[in-house]
Amino acid sequence: MGTSHHTEKKDRLAAVGPRLRDLRRGHGLTLAALAEQTGINESTLSRLEGGTRKPTLEMLLPLAEVYAVPLDELVGAPRTGDPRIHLKPVTRNGMTFVPLSRPGGVQAHKLLIPPRPDTQPQLNTHEGFEWVYVLAGRLRLLLGDNTVILKPGEAAEFDTHVPHWLGPDDERTVELLILFGTQGERAHLKARTI
């Protein structure tokens, strides 16, 4: 029995690298961007993802924070049988992300974007797709050359290869449900197209 437990633990450690790579890609981050956010150099991150470097707690804590996932999920610790997802908000670029799903596959978050009157919208592109549903406030979505205003109860889905930006349309914080995933992982929902 001791050997099967040891093998299981070894397998779990071997799966950390691919899990970290999937999370980074799911968040649309390059190794350079991740290095900047975590303070861990690119080559170390690359070796972690490739499995040639064993993860330490000092490395995993900032990664768990950037990806907004509990540490036990980051390392694939066995589930305790509790189906609840522990909501741990993470603030990034002035926006608050509250994870509503476990890592892997399509990610669900509640997103709060406060008004930022002094900042110019910066359109971004990355791998994957996004689906957004407005809970409160008015969302201004810049998508390529188009501007769309969404009110509570409205949804949009788009390919994130298209330059895009999300923010409040007025002086109130906008509250969204957002699903995002890597390319090919589409939300299995019939979102209203814009």
Please give the chain's pLDDT, 194 residues, in tens: 445 556 665 666 677 888 888 888 877 788 998 899 889 999 999 999 888 888 888 888 888 888 777 776 777 655 555 566 666 777 777 777 777 776 666 778 888 889 887 778 888 887 778 889 999 999 999 998 999 999 999 999 888 888 988 999 999 999 999 887 765 444 433 333 33
Q: In sequence order, which ranges of 16-106 are alpha helices (DSSP H)?
A: 16-26, 31-38, 42-50, 57-67, 71-74
Q: At 165, which helix (H) or strand (E)?
A: strand 164-168
Phi-psi region of 130 (alpha: psi -120 to 50; beta: other; left: phi over 0): beta
Cα separation, 138 vs 149, in Å, equals 7
- This prediction's pTM: 0.53
